[in-house]
Every structure is written in structure tokens, then in C-alpha cells.
Structure 1
Amino acid sequence: MTVGFIYPDHAAESDYPLAATLLNANLVVVHTYGTDLHAVAELRDLGSPAKLAEGVALLRAHRPAAVMFACTSGGFVYGPDGAADQIAGLAAVAGVPASSTSFGFVHALAALGCSRVAVAASYPREIADLFANFLAAHGITIESMGNADIETAAEVGCLTPEQVQALALANDNPNAEALLIPDTAMHTVAHVEALERLLGKPVLTANAVTVWEGLRIADLPRHVNGLGRLFT
């Protein structure tokens, strides 16, 4: 079975074929396009019903068993209720189960039994705060949150593994049960296990969480070595 991913623009989509190889899964990524800016209006456009319908149309020939909106900020920017309406609308248009990276974080934390987190966000503070509010609305305690104040996904996609590691180290908190790195524009799938060894706790990164959530809603196997504790 195929899981489809609607990924806005281009940045770190190469994480998906890497995960697919490790999982021996059929993961299909299609792209929609908008303004590459971490700002409320632009992010709401990326997650709008019209943009999601475009993505569903691109996936139709692949006959996916489930569809994911692979953009954390394009979900939580709508708020908890709006993000829920967003994926309900996506499921209705796609005719299959659907979810988003934002809800993937909530479900992944529940699967790991974690409720206290630190957040290492690439976003400007206004956007990072909206992510924190979304998590809090789902009963998750934010022990600390740092943000790198990066304005575009293209810039995030250019971060080196060393820069990602530095972001994680700078924003961990000893009281947090897990560290969250919420931007799907950041290359992280190849580095999750190294980050977990470094911090000694689960590290949930956006693209890994998106893949896990897509497999979960499609009721497909999601246990493999190489993608961190979430997949064990």
C-alpha cells in the first residue's frame, strides 16, 4: 500500500525516500506551491482547502491508502480546532484516512508516553509560540522552547547536520522527556538516532513524525532500526 504526502514547495523532501528505504515502504511525495515565508498568512495559504485539494489531485493516480499534510506550521497555524477541521476536510476530499504533521507530534508523544517536552524550533518566535499553544491544547507541557528565527523554509533546508545538532543541544531541557524539532523543511531523518544518543532521550523530528503518522493511519508496520525510538 502507498502513503501519500503533500509537501509544500521544496526543502527537505529527500528525507522521505530515505525513510522509505529503511522501512521498505511505498511513500509518495507530491508538491504544492506558495510563498516561502514563516508568517501566519502565508502558512495558512499552504494549508488551505484549495492547496490540499491540489495535493490530493496529484496523488490520485497513486491510489494512496492514507494522505498526510507534511507541513507542521501549515497545520498548527490554524489553531487546535482549525487544524482538526483541516485534516477532516483533507480526509473527505481524499476519501481515505488523513492527518498532518502537527497531529503526528501529538500522537507520537502519546505513543512514547511523553507529556513534558522541549522544543527546538527554526521558526520566528510568533510562529513557534503557535506551535507551543497547539501542543498545550493537547495536554503537553512545554518545559522550554527556543527558536532560531529563520524566516524561510529554503534557509532551513540548508542547515548542516552540525547546525541541527547545535540547535538541539541549545534547546534541550533536563525536565523534558522528549525534544521536538518541528520543521519539515529541516533535513533530520538521517540524524535522529545520533541526536537521541547525544541527548539521551527521544527526539521527534518533523519528517520522521510525518512518516510515522502516515503509516499509523494507514495501519502499516512502522517498526525499524535507524529512525529513533519512535519506530522501535
Structure 2
Amino acid sequence: MKAFIPISVGNPVFTRDATEKLIARAEDLSQDVIIVVCDSLRIIANRLRSDQTQQEAITKARKATDDTIQMLKKLKTKSDRTRILKSSEFCEEFEFKNIEENVRKTTISNDILLNYISAVVLEYMRRIQIDSTVKNTLLETEYVLHETAISIYCTSVLKYNFEIYKDGGNGFIDYFSVWCKENMNNLKYVNDRKLLNWSDINMKTSLSGI
């Protein structure tokens, strides 16, 4: 078993204590653990939640990412095989760009997938009370597509087959993966991840109230 843990930069659930416990549980279960700091997603999120320009979003994301990395480096880990990787470190790679473009083209060219991601995006904006303007809808759609590509890259390229996610997971990632397996042949990049929620690895009690 090889597990990856996506860390949402700036998300208050990833306190030092909670993250250290999460990594320790992952190390108990997995021979290799990779902590994926999703800094590229933070840039999109910054623009979604404010009127920041692209450069302003990048600057603020970089500062938040540096803080997250510093926190992670101070944590105690049980294995020297546990490592930290920023999503921006592979987002410019050919394979990632190929995966992301495939996710985007497949989604926008299929009514079933397009309707599903639209519903996911609208529900999320409603839940966090953000106006469903054209700009916000496009940014949140981009966020979900980019997040899906990150998950597929970690699974199909880096070969980490277990994703440890804080809750029920991203509905579109799972829906997209199942749809592709059922409807597309000879896929080069397939998301064969197995999803473990925090509660699945006995984190619910230790993180009560988060």
C-alpha cells in the first residue's frame, strides 16, 4: 500500500496536531506516504473568494504554501519514506498537462459529465455562500477539474493507490473515474485509487470538533 494525503493550503482543519496525527496513522497503514501540498489549487481558491488578480492570488498562495511547508517540516514522522510534494512541482510536466487536458476535454464534450460537474459546482458555491456568477462558476469548475487531474496523476503516474481524504471525497473525481472506465477503452491514465476517509483510519475521534 502506498498512500497520498492531499493537503489543502490554508484550510484550518490541517492544524499541526491534526496533521501530525493524520500522517502517523497513514504511516501505520502504508509503506510509503506522500503529502501533496495543493498550492496550485490555492491560487484558484484565492481568486474564487475575492477579486484578486492572478498575480495577487499567486503571491498570497505562495506565502500560505511556505507556511504550510514549514509546519509540515516540523512534524515528527516515523518513516524516512514519507515525503512532501507541492502540486506546482508537477503541474508543468507533460504527463500532468496531458491528464488535465484529457479531463477537461472529456468533461466538456459529454453532457452527462458536464451536468454532473455543474451540479457539484453550484452546490459548493451555495454551501459556502458565494454568488454563482459566470466568473465564480468558471473558477470553481476549473478547481474541480484541476483537483481531479491531481488525483489521477498521483494514482496513475506516481503510483500511490490510496488517497486519504478528510471526508466523503470529491464526488466528481469518483464519478468521472467510474464513467471513464465504463465508457472509454484503452485509457492511458486511469484513477484506480482507493479512498480512505479520516474516519476510516480512526481519525474521527482525535479530530472531533473539526
Indicate the TM-score class for this superposition, using the shorter chain for normalisation: 0.3 to 0.5
TM-score by length of 1: 0.33
Larger radius of gyration: 2
TM-score by length of 2: 0.35
